[in-house]
Structure 1
Amino acid sequence: MSAGLDFSGKRVLVVGGAHAARRVLARYLAAGATVYHLAGPGPHSPAVRPAPGVHTPVFPRSVGAWDALIAAVDLVAVVETTPPTDAVIAAACGRHRTWLSRETAASTAPIGSVTLVGGGPGLESLLTVGALAALNAADIVYYDRLGPTDRLDVWAPGAEQIDVGKAPGHHAIPQRDAERMMVASALAGLTVVRLKGGDPFVFGRGGEEVIACRAAGVPVTVISGVTSAIAVPAAAGIPVTHREITRMFTVISGHAPISDTELTHLVGLGGTIVVLMGIGTLQQLVAGLTRLGMRTDMPVAIVERGFAHDQRTTLGRLDSIAALAAHAGVRSPAVVVIGDVVALAAHGDDTAADLLREAATLAT
């Protein structure tokens, strides 16, 4: 399917077995085309029940019948057919100046596949090319609340969409159940996409999902995403590293309290500390860092709802940020940044200003 073209009201003839052509049929239907489907005869095209909303003309048995059918449509999309039929179609398209497109067949293997897709911090423009390609080929999408979902109907046309997201303290579908659902879909022959916020392997439990797929013998791949650990601070004008300030950063999960041993190592490392899912344990974190030797005037930023229209940054110091966050009513999702780089955003450093302008451009 040619990206960027308007197929609304166009007549599209799809040639190929129903299983192999299912994604192509779904895409043209979602694009508003009037879709005709020829499912056979052919070695991979047994008689099948017509897809909902798809017209099924009689399979042409002569050159003249092919001419009449192809002259009546605007585009022919060939997914699979026999070489002699392919030659007849190409010749008829040439005679009638009908567009001819050769489309990739969906998987027809007995076992489908699972692709873990990192959706980034929620902004559509931060989806990767690989992420969009995987969604475009999906039969079913399991998504969570932090991934970009506003245009799933466009990115994954015709795919079933299932929300398996989790909110703090509330797991509508437990992790193990979500894994079982994905595996079951793949074992049924479907192309499965698990769309996750950020990157699947950065506190996204992607490793557990890969293990579950491998244990069931399901092919699984991972498409990395833009992680909020770097992108969200950048959206607030905070680089996690900066020449002559710090050459390292550490990303930690604040989902559970951090031990004194871990805090001691963080203080000793220096550099920037980026905390994901850390609002619930913020007071314990800053108190522990202070007790174990971090200076009390260390700059701290909390960036809420990164890249959203209501993104908000709360700036403070290690000894004041907990009280400021409580007063401001800070809520998840948010990223906490601790380190001297935070001062770049606060003081209008040129590098931070450049990052802010870039983030503003992405958000529009």
Structure 2
Amino acid sequence: MADHPVYPVGLRLAGRRVVVLGGGQVAQRRLPALLAAGADIVLVSPSATPSVEAMATSGEIHWERRRYAEGDLAGAWYALIATTDPEANTRASAEAERSRVWCVRADDAHAATAWTPATGRSEGVTVAVLTTEPEGRDPRRSAALRDAIVEGLRDGTLSAPQHRTRVPGVALVGGGPGDPDLITVRGRRLLAEADVVVADRLGPRDLLAELPPHVEVIDAAKIPYGRFMAQEAINAALIEHARAGRAVVRLKGGDPFVFGRGMEEAEALAEAGIPCTVVPGISSSISVPGAVGIPVTHRGVAHEFAVVSGHVAPDDDRSLVDWPALARLRGTLVVLMGVDKIGAIAQTLVANGREPHTPVALIQEGTTAAQRRVDATLATVADTVVAEGIRPPAVIVIGEVVALGGTLRTTS
């Protein structure tokens, strides 16, 4: 058998009996993929890791808490043998051979009738890599090849034309807080496939340089008190290009539905009959504080956090924020778009019960190369913003969590 190459095949296991022997780390790693395939999984093992036990408790798998016994593989379509008992593994693999059950054996691949490939997935594609060199299998090389292929598919550096008809539509993609590495893999793949990109100023701008020359980039920047593209014009551009049969990505900073007006765009597309895909992004409200070592929650310090818009002052009739209620919270307050209103915000919070010495952190252009953090208190933050020249975009964190992590060495 060793002289012949393996025959690659994809198993359709949905609703079919799969037996897993052993509840240790191997099972913990392999079970999620079997569950995703819809397999009817029976685990036979006297013990299991906490994660595997949780799968049984939730009803995802059936767990028989005992050692392997002859006949356990009856009716199985596939078996994973991964106990710590070599003698039991040998008996089980012999049963699999007699019963013609394809069997993977964790402790001795050469004694198995099937091998598990290094597997990865990108949208619509499953990559499975097996190395079958004369001197034996090389799982590390398989994993490295798998990673390289999947990464290429995800970032668009490895692609093949799709021959099926592409349905026109728009993807509202959350680009994250600014660092191009913090966009989701799905967002990056859609960006690589786009014909038109309608980009925000706060989106990961470095990714635009990677786009092919044929991609049209529309600048939808909204600069505070400066030039901007009206929301109605943005909606019209999305609809126009989608109707022309182009793949359109609306690249936004953070998450499309966190102060990103993404719902307005989704509603406009729905009204025009244009399919819309929403790709969530990492919100700056939690990622930017984390990038400078500030946790928005921490045991014994903050059991809650609130994210609010500061684009209008507390005394403005347009404000929908209950600032007196926020002042009574003991947890963390994260203010977005509030640089020029932070003086009035701080004054209102103090007037309604928040201590003047409450720590405040101002994080400008978080996760980018220009990131900087300036600390203050509610009593001093208005003067600090002026003295330090803080300008948008900046995330403002208010609460005792600001004092944590002063010795952490964080990188972004």
> Is TM (by shorter chain) over 0.5?
yes
The residue number in structure 1 matching 2:375 is 315
Shift of 1:160: 1.1
For residues 107 and 209 of structure 1, do their structure 2 counterparts lie closer, same or farther at Cα, with a shift above 3 Å needed? farther
Q: Does 1:266 align with 2:323?
A: no
The one-character-per-residue Cα deviations of 1:226-270 (angstroms, maximum 9, x if unpaired) are: 111011111111100001101110000111113597111102232
Q: Does the 8 A contact of 1:136 with 1:157 survive in 2?
A: no
Shift of 1:157: 6.0
Q: Does the 8 A contact of 1:138 with 1:156 survive in 2?
A: no
Equivalent position SS for 1:170: coil
Per mean C-alpha deviation after superposition, the further-off stretch among 116-125 and 260-269 is 260-269
Shift of 1:219: 0.1
Q: Does 1:173 align with 2:229?
A: yes
Q: Does 1:189 align with 2:245?
A: yes
Alignment of 1:263-302 (within 5 A): 263-302=323-362
Q: Does 1:158 align with 2:214?
A: yes
Alignment of 1:1-364 (within 5 A): 103-105=160-162, 108=165, 112-155=168-211, 158-259=214-315, 262-346=322-406, 348=407, 353=408, 356-357=409-410, 360=411, 363=412
For residues 248 and 107 of structure 1, do their structure 2 counterparts lie closer, same or farther at Cα, with a shift above 3 Å needed? farther
The one-character-per-residue Cα deviations of 1:160-190 (angstroms, maximum 9, x if unpaired) are: 1111111102243101111111011111111
Q: Does the 8 A contact of 1:203 with 1:253 survive in 2?
A: yes
| RMSD over aligned Cα atoms | 1.9
Whose RCO is larger (CA < 8 A, sep 6+)? 1
> 2: CA distance between counterparts of 1:229 and 1:157?
33
The one-character-per-residue Cα deviations of 1:60-96 (angstroms, maximum 9, x if unpaired) are: xxxxxxxxxxxxxxxxxxxxxxxxxxxxxxxxxxxxx
The residue number in structure 1 matching 2:95 is none
For residues 146 and 320 of structure 1, do their structure 2 counterparts lie closer, same or farther at Cα, with a shift above 3 Å needed? same
> 2: CA distance between counterparts of 1:108 and 1:184?
19
> 1: CA distance between counterparts of 2:241 and 2:314?
37
Shift of 1:155: 4.6
Larger radius of gyration: 2
Q: Does the 8 A contact of 1:108 with 1:189 survive in 2?
A: no
Q: How many residues matched?
A: 251
TM-score relative to the length of structure 1: 0.66
Identity %: 42
> 2: CA distance between counterparts of 1:248 and 1:167?
31
Unaligned runs of 5+ in 2: 1-157
For residues 153 and 301 of structure 1, do their structure 2 counterparts lie closer, same or farther at Cα, with a shift above 3 Å needed? closer
Letter in 2 for 1:287: Q
Q: Does the 8 A contact of 2:328 with 2:352 survive in 1?
A: no
